[in-house]
Amino acid sequence: MSLRQIAQELGLSVTTVSRALAGYGDVSQQTRDRVVAEADRIGYVPNEVARRLQKGRSDAVGLVIPDSHGGLDDPFFIKVIDGAARRASELDMDLVVVTALPTHRDLRSQRRLVEGGRIDGLILTRLVEDDPRLQHLLDRRFPFVAFSGAPGADPRVTELCIDESSAVEAALDHLHTLGHRSIALLSSHAPFTFVKRREEAYRDAIARRGLRPRIARGPMNEQGGYDEAAALLLDQRRPTAMLASTDAIALGVLRAARLAGLSVPHDLSIVSMGDSPGLRISQPPMTAIRIPIADMAAQAVDLIVSLRDYGQVPAPRAHATELVIRDTTAAPRH
Amino acid sequence: MSLRQIAQELGLSVTTVSRALAGYGDVSQQTRDRVVAEADRIGYVPNEVARRLQKGRSDAVGLVIPDSHGGLDDPFFIKVIDGAARRASELDMDLVVVTALPTHRDLRSQRRLVEGGRIDGLILTRLVEDDPRLQHLLDRRFPFVAFSGAPGADPRVTELCIDESSAVEAALDHLHTLGHRSIALLSSHAPFTFVKRREEAYRDAIARRGLRPRIARGPMNEQGGYDEAAALLLDQRRPTAMLASTDAIALGVLRAARLAGLSVPHDLSIVSMGDSPGLRISQPPMTAIRIPIADMAAQAVDLIVSLRDYGQVPAPRAHATELVIRDTTAAPRH
DNA sequence: CTGTTAGCGCTTTCAA
DNA sequence: TTGAAAGCGCTAACAG
């Protein structure tokens, strides 16, 4: 099961066998055929670890997910893993997943991964302001891409993002066209960059229409969405539509509306931003801005390979989003 | 950033430095202190790849998830990844995730992983009868554990399972005690072992109570559950309760009941088997048998380490399940 | 076209 | 208690 075995069997040098199997380099066709035949016969698979040591790279991409003690329930991560693992598999690479406490104050996971040579590049998610992870990677000039954007548009950071402006614009256009004039944004307190960007995009889009912005914030989960929506719905002049900045929040809004006895979409329209499967089977199915997380994750792998091999990337562009109209949006009642 | 650097800096041999850092072996306390201090100073992190090559093991655990072209939406896998990655991180190991086509007829992913020395053991999920993956691993005596059970109770297979009998029994006991006498099982056509086990457990538990079994089958997803339930609900003598063998199916049942104008739980009680977060926020929140997927995945890592190091495992026991009573179960109407 | 040599960074003998 | 030497399996550089 090693090159040496094949070499001995065929009376060749290990080098020649290696070359023949690599598929390039100078080897006679005859030798190549013999080697390949023998390799097939004994079912040779190269030792990836040895190859990595020699090549000085690991052909693996890292991903850190939050350590939530068995409670990880964010569809975002399964999408990221799905997309990244698929692309990595296509490239004969590994996706290495480790957990870290969500605070990321403890860089041990990242250091083991990065400095131990286990991976060639890292996919970062949920970056916050002054994220220590970022500095660590920049200091080492280690290849990485940041999902959902990095704070401050640092040119050294390769971002993987959607065009938040046009995504929010599409949602507001849809609602505005339906006749809504009071549209709230259900945002969150979470310190992630995309949260802020979405808020800005919302403010701009609302201002362009001469409407009044209303932004609610809470924890970035279902309960948070529920609480935010419940408070807004108590208001005398409650909004006729809500744009939720994440799927979990949107599902909380839906629950709040139901418990308040409001009909969705007639008493309240809801648009979510995301792509969770839960949105399709919610009651009613949720209108949403689809964010192609898996595709973005697949691209992340390509970008990392490019960064590793060429030290730069072909200017990554924002991914297109898509308004998927389902059953939580309609014209407001008078 | 290598042992050599530290060795040169301190005028020691690489061997000594290695020993000092390993924490065992014969090194004077003084030398050890000096080495550790210097290692800290330059921020030494051992090259994991070199260590792996030398040790002949990779300190990594593999997991193959279905390649669903960006559509992976099964909460099962995120739980598995979460639990396995966390335990692996605790042990300073990696979790390597790759995708493969769900048919698993193509063993390339597995062969690259296993024979390339990239991992020390593999976590298998969703095994089917005569699964080619199983034979491949058994042939090579490669450490692996099978999630959700392997067909046929092969003694060479380390299983990670719940006690299906007592899980189903708990669900049926709950429903029976509430007064239900017509309880259907919404199963699926999926060829996985746990599906069959659940059906058997259901038959037994129903028989013990002198009731008549009713088993419906369809695709193992939300739509499947919807279709199965819709058909049952058309029946003159429709069941008053349904036990869904997976969460996705249960959510489909809920949708069918709603569209049929039935009140859940009063017209129809539903119990699910699983642990998805979606169950907590369904309307109404779903009564379920909680299956501790993440804990099982964490144990999977321990079992693989044990198999690797000792060639055997401390007889793994079935994981306990728990009936979580929420709002989809109540006494039947007359 | 093929072989020899060297070395990736580490750990493990075996000697001193 | 320390060091020298060997080698994990592979690839790259340099000769022939």
For residue A287, the 8-state DSSP code is E
Let me know if A181 is exposed, middle or buried by CB neighbors in 10 A (0-12, 13-18, 19+): middle
Question: Is a pLDDT exceeding 70 seen at residue A154?
Answer: yes
| 3-class secondary-structure state, position A121 | strand
Judged by DSSP in three states, A73 sits in: coil
Q: How far apart are CA A170 and CA A158, in angstroms?
A: 26
A234 in contact with B, Cβ within 8 Å: no
Q: How confident is the model at residue A266 (pLDDT cuts 50, 70, 90)?
A: very high
Which residues, listed in sequence order, are joined to residue A319 by a DSSP beta bridge?
A162
Does residue B13 reach within 7 angstroms of strand D, measured from its CB? yes
Q: Helix, strand or coil for residue B144?
A: strand
Give yes or no for residue A72 having a pLDDT over 80. no
Partner residue facing B97 (CB), from A53, A95, A251: A95
Nearest to A96 among B70, B71, B94 (CB): B94
A117 touches strand D (CB under 7 A): no
Contacts of A45 in chain B (CB under 8 A): 111-112, 115-116
In angstroms, the separation between the Cα of residue B51 and the nearest Cα of chain A is 9
Q: What angle do CA B305, B15, B308 make, to 5 degrees?
A: 10
Q: Which of B73, B69, B52, B180 is nearest to B116 (CA)?
A: B52
Q: Are A191 and A309 in contact (CB under 8 A)?
A: no
CB atoms within 10 A of CB B95: 30
What average pLDDT does the segment A140-144 reach? 92
End-to-end CA, chain B? 76
B110-134: per-residue pLDDT in tens?
Answer: 888 898 899 999 999 888 778 888 8
Length reported for chain A: 334
CA A42 vs CA A12, B109, B110: distances in Å: 16, 18, 17
Distance, in Å, from the CA atom of B227 to the CA atom of B253, rounded to the nearest integer, reads 8
Which H/E stretch holds residue B309?
A: helix B293-310
> So what's the pLDDT on residue B72?
64
Split at pLDDT 50, 70, 90, the class of A286 is very high
Q: Tokens 């306990």 appear where?
A: B320
- Give the whole-angstrom CA distance, residue B118 versus residue A280: 38
Residue whose C-alpha is closest to residue A38's, from A20, A23, A26: A20
**Per the structure block, which two tokens stand in for B183?**
């309880």
Q: Are strands B121-124 and B158-160 parallel, antiparallel or unpaired?
A: unpaired
User: What is d(CA A213, CA B289) in angstroms, rounded to the nearest whole number?
Assistant: 44
Which chain B residue's Cα is nearest to A296?
B70
Determine the pLDDT at residue A109.
Answer: 81
Q: Which residue is it, tokens 């040496």? A: A4
Q: Is the pLDDT of residue A105 over 80?
A: no
Distance of C1' in C2 from CA in A13, Å? 8
Whether A322 contacts chain B with CB within 8 A: no
Distance from CA(B87) to C1'(D2), angstroms, rounded: 37
Q: What is the mean pLDDT of residues A86-97?
A: 92
For residue A70, pLDDT over 80 is answered with no
Confidence of residue A71 (pLDDT cuts 50, 70, 90): low
Nucleotides on chain D that have an atom closer than 7 A to a protein CB are: 1-5, 7-13
Contacts of B191 (CB under 8 A, 6+ apart): B128, B129
Query: CA A52, CA A57: separation in Å to the nearest integer?
Result: 5
pLDDT value for A29: 87
Question: What is the average pLDDT value for chain A, to the nearest integer?
Answer: 90
Contact A123, A76 (CB under 8 A): no
Q: Dihedral angle at the C-alpha atoms of B12, B13, B19, B22, nearest 10 degrees?
A: 80
**What integer pLDDT is reported at residue B153 of this predicted model?**
67
Mean pLDDT on A56-67? 90
Handedness of CA A233, A235, A236, A238 (dihedral sign): negative
Q: Does A57 touch chain B (CB under 8 A)?
A: no
Q: For nucleic chain C, give residues with Cβ below 7 angstroms from it.
A: A 11-16, 19, 25-31, 50, 53-54, 56; B 2-4, 14-15, 18-19, 21-22, 46-47, 50-51, 53-55
Q: What does each C-alpha distance from A174 to A21, A227, A243, A267 come to in angstroms?
A: 57, 25, 11, 16
The closest of A302, A268, A271 to A123, measured between CA atoms, is: A302
What spatial distance separates the first Cα and last Cα of chain A, rounded to whole Å? 76
Q: Can you give the pLDDT at residue A180?
A: 98
Selected residue of A86, A104, A247 to mutate for chain B interface (largest B Cβ count, 10 A): A86
Burial of A256 (0-12, 13-18, 19+ CB in 10 A): buried
- A158-160 and A214-216 beta bridge pairing: unpaired
Test B98 with A89 for CB contact under 8 angstroms: yes
State how far Cα A250 lies from the chain centre. 19
Q: Do A48 and B118 touch (CB under 8 A)?
A: yes
Asked if A178 contacts A188 with a C-beta cutoff of 8 angstroms, the reply is no
Q: Compare A45 and A314 and report the one with higher pLDDT.
A: A45
Q: Is the pLDDT of residue A257 over 90?
A: yes
B45 touches chain A (CB under 8 A): yes
Q: What is the pLDDT of residue A193?
A: 85
H or E, element range at A243: strand A241-244
Tokens of A202: 């919302």
| Distance CA B132 to C1' D2 in A | 52
**What pLDDT is recorded for position B281?**
84
Q: Sign of the CA dihedral A13, A17, A19, A25? A: positive
- Ranges of H-type helices in chain A: 3-10, 14-22, 29-42, 48-55, 75-90, 108-115, 132-140, 164-178, 193-208, 222-234, 247-259, 293-310
Residues 8-47 of A with CB under 7 A from strand D: 14-15, 18, 21-22, 46-47
Helices (H), A11-74: 14-22, 29-42, 48-55
In the predicted model, residues of chain B with pLDDT beneath 50 are: none
Which of the residue ranges A22-31, A284-293, B320-329 would you say has the lowest mean pLDDT?
A: A22-31
Contacts of B77 in chain A (CB under 8 A): 78, 81
Structure tokens given for A23: 């598929």
pLDDT of residue A252 exceeding 90 = yes
Residue B255 in contact with residue B242, Cβ under 8 Å?
no
Helices (H), B209-292: 222-234, 247-259
Predicted pLDDT of residue B192: 86
Q: Quick one: which of A252, A228, A241, A237 has its CA closest to A173?
A: A241
Residue B290: which of B323, B246, B244 has the closest Cα? Answer: B323
CB contact at 8 A, B31 and B64: no
Alpha-carbon distance of A276 to A279, in angstroms, equals: 6
CB contacts, 8 Å: A252 with chain B: 281
CB pairs under 8 A between A and B: 171
- Pair of tokens at residue A238: 């409650």
Decide: CB of B15 under 7 A of nucleic strand D: yes
Position A110, amino acid: Q
Residues B316 and B304 sit within 8 Å (Cβ to Cβ): no
Q: With beta carbons less than 8 A apart as the criterion, state whether B157 and B150 touch.
A: yes
Least confidently predicted of A145-149, A209-213, A222-226, B264-268: A145-149
CB contact under 8 A, B281 and A222: yes
